[in-house]
Amino acid sequence: MPDRRPDLAAMIVPLGRALMAAEQPVLDRHGISMWGYSVLLGLGAEPTHTQSALAKRIGADKTRIIPVLDELQRQGLIRREPDPADRRVNLVALTDAGRATRDRVQRDIQRAEETVLEPLAAADRTALLRALRVLYEANRSPD
Protein backbone atom coordinates (compact mmCIF):
# COMPACT_ATOMS: atom_id res chain seq x y z
CA MET A 1 0.00 0.00 0.00
CA PRO A 2 2.24 2.76 -1.26
CA ASP A 3 0.07 5.81 -0.67
CA ARG A 4 -1.93 5.77 2.50
CA ARG A 5 -2.07 9.31 3.73
CA PRO A 6 0.80 10.74 5.74
CA ASP A 7 0.08 11.41 9.38
CA LEU A 8 -1.40 14.80 10.05
CA ALA A 9 1.43 15.78 12.34
CA ALA A 10 3.93 14.74 9.68
CA MET A 11 2.34 17.23 7.32
CA ILE A 12 1.54 20.03 9.71
CA VAL A 13 4.67 20.24 11.82
CA PRO A 14 6.99 20.76 8.83
CA LEU A 15 4.52 23.27 7.47
CA GLY A 16 4.73 25.18 10.73
CA ARG A 17 8.50 25.13 10.49
CA ALA A 18 8.37 26.40 6.91
CA LEU A 19 6.12 29.24 7.98
CA MET A 20 8.39 30.21 10.84
CA ALA A 21 11.36 30.09 8.49
CA ALA A 22 9.50 32.41 6.13
CA GLU A 23 8.78 34.79 9.00
CA GLN A 24 12.27 34.97 10.38
CA PRO A 25 13.77 37.26 7.71
CA VAL A 26 10.84 39.63 8.17
CA LEU A 27 11.41 39.74 11.91
CA ASP A 28 15.13 40.25 11.36
CA ARG A 29 14.43 43.14 9.03
CA HIS A 30 12.34 44.79 11.73
CA GLY A 31 14.90 44.03 14.42
CA ILE A 32 12.50 42.05 16.55
CA SER A 33 12.55 38.53 17.92
CA MET A 34 9.88 35.89 17.54
CA TRP A 35 9.01 36.15 21.22
CA GLY A 36 9.10 39.93 20.98
CA TYR A 37 6.58 39.78 18.18
CA SER A 38 4.47 37.39 20.18
CA VAL A 39 4.46 39.85 23.07
CA LEU A 40 3.43 42.71 20.83
CA LEU A 41 0.54 40.62 19.59
CA GLY A 42 -0.37 39.51 23.10
CA LEU A 43 -0.62 43.10 24.28
CA GLY A 44 -3.40 43.67 21.79
CA ALA A 45 -6.77 44.56 23.18
CA GLU A 46 -6.95 44.09 26.94
CA PRO A 47 -6.58 47.13 29.14
CA THR A 48 -4.21 45.91 31.85
CA HIS A 49 -1.48 43.32 31.56
CA THR A 50 0.70 42.10 34.31
CA GLN A 51 3.81 40.28 33.19
CA SER A 52 2.64 36.91 34.38
CA ALA A 53 -0.80 37.31 32.81
CA LEU A 54 0.89 38.29 29.58
CA ALA A 55 3.22 35.31 29.76
CA LYS A 56 0.36 32.91 30.30
CA ARG A 57 -1.58 34.45 27.46
CA ILE A 58 1.17 33.85 24.92
CA GLY A 59 2.06 30.42 26.28
CA ALA A 60 5.40 31.36 27.72
CA ASP A 61 7.01 30.99 31.10
CA LYS A 62 7.05 34.19 33.14
CA THR A 63 10.81 33.96 33.43
CA ARG A 64 11.21 33.63 29.72
CA ILE A 65 9.67 36.90 28.68
CA ILE A 66 11.68 39.09 31.01
CA PRO A 67 14.64 39.65 28.71
CA VAL A 68 12.13 40.01 25.88
CA LEU A 69 10.35 42.79 27.74
CA ASP A 70 13.66 44.42 28.57
CA GLU A 71 14.54 44.56 24.89
CA LEU A 72 11.14 45.81 23.77
CA GLN A 73 11.25 48.51 26.40
CA ARG A 74 14.74 49.52 25.33
CA GLN A 75 13.39 49.80 21.79
CA GLY A 76 10.56 52.00 23.02
CA LEU A 77 7.88 49.60 21.86
CA ILE A 78 6.33 48.91 25.25
CA ARG A 79 5.88 50.72 28.52
CA ARG A 80 6.39 48.98 31.86
CA GLU A 81 5.17 50.78 34.95
CA PRO A 82 4.61 49.62 38.50
CA ASP A 83 0.96 49.42 39.41
CA PRO A 84 0.24 52.09 42.05
CA ALA A 85 -2.44 49.85 43.52
CA ASP A 86 -0.12 46.87 43.95
CA ARG A 87 3.50 47.75 43.82
CA ARG A 88 4.56 44.17 43.19
CA VAL A 89 3.19 44.10 39.65
CA ASN A 90 4.33 45.77 36.47
CA LEU A 91 1.68 46.97 34.08
CA VAL A 92 2.80 46.41 30.52
CA ALA A 93 1.35 48.27 27.56
CA LEU A 94 2.14 49.01 23.94
CA THR A 95 3.46 52.45 23.07
CA ASP A 96 2.26 54.11 19.90
CA ALA A 97 5.51 53.07 18.26
CA GLY A 98 4.91 49.53 19.46
CA ARG A 99 1.47 49.44 17.99
CA ALA A 100 2.75 50.78 14.68
CA THR A 101 5.60 48.27 14.60
CA ARG A 102 3.29 45.42 15.44
CA ASP A 103 0.99 46.33 12.57
CA ARG A 104 3.81 46.75 10.07
CA VAL A 105 5.45 43.48 11.07
CA GLN A 106 2.19 41.60 10.93
CA ARG A 107 1.41 42.96 7.50
CA ASP A 108 4.81 41.85 6.19
CA ILE A 109 4.61 38.48 7.92
CA GLN A 110 1.25 37.63 6.49
CA ARG A 111 2.57 38.59 3.07
CA ALA A 112 5.53 36.25 3.53
CA GLU A 113 3.22 33.49 4.66
CA GLU A 114 1.18 33.75 1.50
CA THR A 115 4.18 32.64 -0.50
CA VAL A 116 4.18 29.36 1.39
CA LEU A 117 0.58 28.83 0.32
CA GLU A 118 1.33 29.51 -3.32
CA PRO A 119 1.10 25.87 -4.38
CA LEU A 120 -2.57 25.89 -3.41
CA ALA A 121 -5.44 26.64 -5.74
CA ALA A 122 -7.51 29.59 -4.59
CA ALA A 123 -10.38 27.44 -3.36
CA ASP A 124 -8.04 25.20 -1.38
CA ARG A 125 -6.37 28.20 0.17
CA THR A 126 -9.59 29.68 1.49
CA ALA A 127 -10.76 26.26 2.69
CA LEU A 128 -7.49 25.74 4.52
CA LEU A 129 -7.66 29.14 6.17
CA ARG A 130 -11.22 28.57 7.27
CA ALA A 131 -10.55 25.12 8.69
CA LEU A 132 -7.49 26.40 10.53
CA ARG A 133 -9.45 29.21 12.08
CA VAL A 134 -12.11 26.84 13.32
CA LEU A 135 -9.51 24.62 14.93
CA TYR A 136 -7.69 27.62 16.33
CA GLU A 137 -10.78 29.04 17.95
CA ALA A 138 -11.83 25.62 19.24
CA ASN A 139 -8.53 24.84 20.89
CA ARG A 140 -7.66 28.18 22.33
CA SER A 141 -7.95 28.66 26.03
CA PRO A 142 -11.47 29.51 27.12
CA ASP A 143 -11.15 33.25 27.80
Partner DNA sequence: TATTGTTATACTCTATAACTATA
Partner DNA sequence: TATAGTTATAGAGTATAACAATA
Residues that bind DNA (CB under 7 A): 35, 50-53, 60-64, 66, 69, 80, 86-90, 92
Q: How many residues bind a copy of itself (CB under 8 A)?
A: 43
61 binds, among DNA, a copy of itself, none (CB under 5 to 8 A by kind): DNA
Exposure string of 100-138, with b = 16+ CB inside 10 Å and e = fewer, is ebbeebeebbeebeeeeeeeeeeeeeeeeeeeeeeeeee
CB of 78 to a copy of itself, least distance (A): 19
The residue (of 62 and 111) whose beta carbon lies closer to DNA is: 62
CA 131 to chain centre: 19
The residue (of 61 and 81) whose beta carbon lies closer to a copy of itself is: 61
Element of type H or E holding 68: helix 65-74
Cα–Cα dist 106/102, whole Å: 6
CB of 118 to a copy of itself, least distance (A): 8
* Contact flag: residue 122 with a copy of itself (CB under 8 A): no
Task: Evaluate whether 49 touches 60 at the Cβ level (below 8 Å).
Answer: no
* Contact flag: residue 23 with a copy of itself (CB under 8 A): yes
Give the bridge partners for 50, in sequence order: 91
Residues that bind a copy of itself (CB under 8 A): 2, 4-16, 18-20, 23, 41, 45, 59, 106, 109-110, 113, 116-117, 119-120, 124-125, 127-136, 138-139
